[in-house]
Chains A and B, each alone.
Chain A
């Protein structure tokens, strides 16, 4: 790295070498338009929207891929460039359906914004459109190739960050389509349902399966008792769908909005997170003390669950048998709670609002059926719920805050931090330490496993025994960590894995990036996480086992952690599933 001199639009700048024109221009306050570029992904150079003029170079160059050189004279906004960029975007639009007003991503579409900012006010070309069937096979993620503009972000996300490699650009030229191997339906593919393709898609080529109309209908059904639960990270992100800065905790507003929408009871998945910790910490200690399979790996993330069954069946025994908090809450709603209010569980309609698309898949897992019924009847994402709140005309930002209902509504600070990477581990440590040593852990904020580093390690000593823990978020990072586990099974005792970058706060169902933000911006992820850490810090009860409603639940119903009753309602099992996933040893281009 050395200092070089470049000229942008005739102004002289001293900049660092070794960067692309786009990176340099970003620092200097010139935002060159872009489409296929994403800072976390490899350079594709496919869309050509980011072209600039470099003096002495015959053609315009893609600034995302072109390095700066000493003395380089760059122009970003000439008449010819503006015209060419506009033509490029027009040509991208040319085989796009252009059905903005009926599109799920209306107002949230990067292509739409780009077309507007390029000054496309009338169309010069009309060409052939694409006509492909939508893939509606999956409970979680649907694919509409007609809206795809072949920027390749989803393919890179799926293979580079998540290492799932479910997507490829198949065929060539005009006939290119992003699809899984053999054009298999998503349901039969290695897709983990994480939904990150939706997050990075600039258009609506990927979407979650939408249940909003069905939910509005269910909420109007007088014969049903409608019960809501919502994940920790929903409250930390939903404000963004209402143009708030990332990191505003909207818990009280959400509870109030659920009641206004017609839910009869509003519970908090954070309560079930506390319960998960009771079971998971107990399971860990049991494995530790009786020589069970270690390292134990957490099982809250549904994308990880599916990934594990298809990519890591050899590690099935390492994975905790605990259901996710959502599914624990679901089975309790239809048993303990139904009993408490004296109703037939089949009259209860149980709905979870999640930051996650994979939870839609999880809710439908046959392994989770208890007494012939699903615990969670429907899962909607943060995005879907934000839309429903708007559509129902609820003044979300000015609404009076409310508190969730008893008996599944009260939570500790440990339950809140479940939504961010490292949070489950931190919560588990708080409880496991006390269950094991009989003493209270004083310094409960475990800094080593906080933050956005891909793989984090920590250590703690319990009664002289050293416990080594590790945390990974995003399936690609998880893959790195699990490679270590396969080679050195003794290295860790306890591992947390979350399927999405940043943990649930970066889930596939979270609000789309706002106008001037990039999807999965680290800054936004950190702010969402901070909202949860603040929630934790402001609670008097910060350890799951201190939650009085959790204690009451054990007294009245579950008896004790890992009891046969707990096993029936709160635990599950896994199977190796096909098609088997393959993670290549090298990056394939």
Chain B
């Protein structure tokens, strides 16, 4: 598991202080959850407990918000987050095959992370790169005109780069 660095929790507390004393203080919860996810990559329980204490909001309420929005990850995510575009253009151009290849290659389902914490697989709607469909996005970078072989090559490249550190 990823350890929760105390200095990051401190940064989170610091972030919350800027809202302190302002009207509708509690309504900053979503912004604070965004900050927590930016710090940890997901919402660890320790972060939600810290927010609860610092904002005086019951943990159940925070949990309700965190689970409602798909944007928030409740589990640690991998080093490479792969979003497979399933928009119309990509779908027509074979996105399903790309997705199936990734599932087989990584042995995970959509929404899961590989045990080595390298890859997280997600679905996406249109990524706005229909001209080079089918596309996937790895972290913030788009890769286009894919097929099964190219996808496997990409994954192997990522593995190599991760092994080098």
Residue ranges of A at the interface with B (Cβ–Cβ < 8 Å): 159, 165-172, 179-183, 190, 579-586, 588
Contacts and interface: CB of A to CB of B under 8 A. Distances in A.
Nearest to B59: A181
Nearest to B62: A181
Among A170, A179, A580, max chain B CB count under 10 A is at A170
Contact of A165 (B45, B48, B61): B61
A434 to B, nearest CB: 44
A449 B59 CA distance: 35
A167 B67 contact: no
B63 A181 contact: yes
B115 interface: no
Given A583-B58, A584-B61, 16 more contacts: A159-B60, A165-B58, A165-B61, A169-B64, A170-B64, A170-B67, A170-B68, A181-B48, A190-B59, A190-B60, A582-B57, A584-B26, A584-B58, A585-B56, A586-B26, A588-B61
A586 B28 CA distance: 14
Contacts of B105: none
B53 A582 contact: yes
B26 A168 contact: no
Contacts of A582: 52-53, 56-59
B21 to A, nearest CB: 12
Among A159, A172, A182, A584, max chain B CB count under 10 A is at A182
11 contacts: A170-B64, A172-B67, A180-B63, A190-B58, A581-B58, A582-B53, A582-B56, A582-B57, A584-B58, A586-B26, A588-B58
A294 B52 CA distance: 30
Contacts of B58: 159, 165-166, 181, 190, 581-584, 588
Contacts of A171: 67-68
B58 to A, nearest CB: 3
B60 A166 contact: yes
Contact of A170 (B53, B57, B63): B63
A504 to B, nearest CB: 26
Contacts of A190: 58-60
A401 B16 CA distance: 64
A167 B60 contact: yes
A582 B50 CA distance: 12
Which 4 A-B residue pairs are closest in the complex by CB-CB distance?
A165-B58, A168-B64, A181-B59, A168-B60
Contacts, number: 62
A583 to B, nearest CB: 8
Contacts of B62: 181
Given A171-B68, A172-B68, A584 B56 contact: yes
A531 B60 CA distance: 38
B71 to A, nearest CB: 12
Contacts of A579: 59
Interface residues of B, number: 16
Among B45, B62, B63, max chain A CB count under 10 A is at B63
Contacts of B63: 168, 170, 179-183
Nearest to B24: A586
Interface string B65-103: 001100000000000000000000000000000000000
B28 to A, nearest CB: 13
A549 to B, nearest CB: 46
Contacts of B52: 582
Main secondary structure on A side of the interface with B: loop
Contacts of A580: 53
Given A182-B45, A584-B26, A586-B26, A168 B56 contact: no
Given A171-B67, A172-B68, A165 B56 contact: no
A180 B26 CA distance: 20
Contacts of A159: 58, 60-61
Contacts of B59: 181-182, 190, 579, 582
A172 B68 CA distance: 6
Nearest to A170: B67
Nearest to B64: A168
Among A165, A167, A582, max chain B CB count under 10 A is at A582
Nearest to A579: B59
A192 to B, nearest CB: 13
A579 B45 CA distance: 12
Contact of B60 (A172, A181, A585): A181
Contacts of B61: 159, 165, 168, 584, 588
Contacts of B26: 584-586, 588
B111 to A, nearest CB: 12
B53 to A, nearest CB: 7
Nearest to A582: B58
A180 B68 CA distance: 14
Contact of A588 (B45, B48, B57, B68): B57
A181 B43 CA distance: 13
A159 to B, nearest CB: 8
A170 B68 CA distance: 6
Nearest to B69: A172
A167 B63 CA distance: 10
B49 to A, nearest CB: 8
Contacts of B48: 181-182
A349 B91 CA distance: 69
Interface string B89-131: 0000000000000000000000000000000000000000000
A181 B49 CA distance: 10
A586 B56 CA distance: 10
A486 to B, nearest CB: 14
A162 to B, nearest CB: 12
Interface string B22-59: 00001000000000000000000100100011001111
Contacts of A169: 64
A189 to B, nearest CB: 8
Contacts of B45: 182
B56 A180 contact: no
Among B60, B62, B68, max chain A CB count under 10 A is at B60
Among B58, B59, B63, B67, max chain A CB count under 10 A is at B58
Contacts of A166: 58, 60
A179 B68 CA distance: 13
Contacts of A180: 60, 63
A165 B61 CA distance: 7
A235 B68 CA distance: 45
B82 to A, nearest CB: 23
B36 to A, nearest CB: 14
